[in-house]
Amino acid sequence: QGTRDHPPAYTALRDRLLAAVVTCFKRHGAAAIDTPVLELRETLMGKYGEEAKLIYELQDQGGELLALRYDLTVPFARYLAMNKITNMKRYHIAKVYRRDNPATTRGRYREFYQCDFDIAGQFDPMIPDAECLKIVHEILSDLQLGDFLIKVNDRRILNGIFAVCGIPESKFVTACCTVDKLDKVPWEEVRGEMVGEKGLSPEAADHIGEYVQLHGGLELIERLLQDPKLSQNKLAKEGLGDMKLLFEYLTLFGITGKISFDLSLARGLDYYTGVIFEAVLLQQENEHVEEPVSVGSVAGGGRYDGLVGMFDPKGRKVPCVGVSIGIERIFSILEQRMKASGEKVRTTETQVLVATPHKHLLAARLKLISELWGAGIKAEMLYKKDPKLLKQLQYCEDTGIPLAAIVGEQELTDGVVKLRDVATRVEVRM
């Protein structure tokens, strides 16, 4: 069914990852918000382009047409408009729903978590956009997932390319959705879809192909700014000017080594208006391969300056830029790695097991564990009157509890507790 149960090991791993992501978001001054899982159908429709067919539609008993949220961005824009908020830095971690063909081995589900960070407000160009890219870089570095690349483009540059290649404006969005497939299929297939399904001329498709297969850095931006056709297009010129400014800020952040200006990046959603970006993990097949191989997108986002205005009765716009971390795909990658290495995930944060070596000492255990809980220490005990000490210590080993606090008759007489390091078996009386 494209959903999954979350057993303790999975949930512990997820919580560890989410804690690292939240730490990063808070470090950048974001406040947490939450929006409902259910939205009016009309709120979501017309915002996602061809992906709208993946929205789960519902009808409640009052006759209203409802839908499950598809992402966290459109509900955020609706929230800003309803509450007349014009300035906000927020994060939101929650489940979203897509009526998709699941591919669970690749972390593609119908119900999954997204971790969003957004900056809303009227600011000087590219400063918030650069911070969003810095956040992606920080999170992927902190999680130590291996080598990664953040691809960056701008919808205005793409639309400028379509215009100079002779594509009518009415076909910009559909051409964008087709170009977006370039990370999954070769150019020949994308060209075939453009000509065969989208009705573009072979000449126009070939012309687009000359641009969308380019990638690089500042030198490519400079080259395109000198391009005789693109430099005459207002949209492309604006986009390239902002892209140059963005790279200047990313250079100051010291992260351009992981950033690629990639003209094939399109991101299929309708609401993007400017800079767009996507992070992919790279896999070196072997040391003789020069080009790393991509193993899938783990984050994406961009600028969506027109979305809030769609929900405002007076059409007031609030410029926004944001990023979403695909935490489910990261879970899948880490789970596979842990299975391969045989590493165990601790499913609890218990610090100490209260144990007794003799019979008739349940009262001593209950008294000690109550003291520990009262002092804010994470403690457990076995729910047996007279468990064998070996069984108690084995439970510590099985669950990864590092310490055992042992109270026997002699300890009670002396007013001490024997603290045992489960791994090293070293004991101290205290």
Give the chain's length. 430
Query: 61 among the known binding-site residues?
Result: no
Query: 191 among the known binding-site residues?
Result: no
Confirm if 49 and 268 have CB atoms less than 8 A apart: yes
Could you tell me the sign of the dihedral formed by the alpha carbons of 221, 225, 226, 231, in that order?
positive
Here the tokens at position 75 are 């509900």
Confirm if 419 and 368 have CB atoms less than 8 A apart: no
Query: 144 among the known binding-site residues?
Result: no
Query: 262 among the known binding-site residues?
Result: no
3 state SS of 64: coil
Confirm if 420 and 410 have CB atoms less than 8 A apart: no
Confirm if 302 and 105 have CB atoms less than 8 A apart: no
CB count, 10 Å around CB of 99? 13
Query: Which residue in this structure is represented by tokens 């072979």?
Result: 202
Q: Across the beta sheet with 88-97, what order do the strands follow? A: 31-32, 88-97, 111-120, 320-325, 293-303, 275-283, 148-154, 259-262, 215-216
CA–CA dist 430, 427 (Å, integer):
10
Query: 98 among the known binding-site residues?
Result: yes
Query: 267 among the known binding-site residues?
Result: yes
DSSP letter, residue 338 = H
**In this structure, which amino acid lies at residue 25?**
F
Query: 71 among the known binding-site residues?
Result: yes
Query: 271 among the known binding-site residues?
Result: yes
State the binding site for L-histidine. Answer: 71-73, 98, 114, 118, 267, 271-272
State the binding site. Answer: 71-73, 98, 114, 118, 267, 271-272
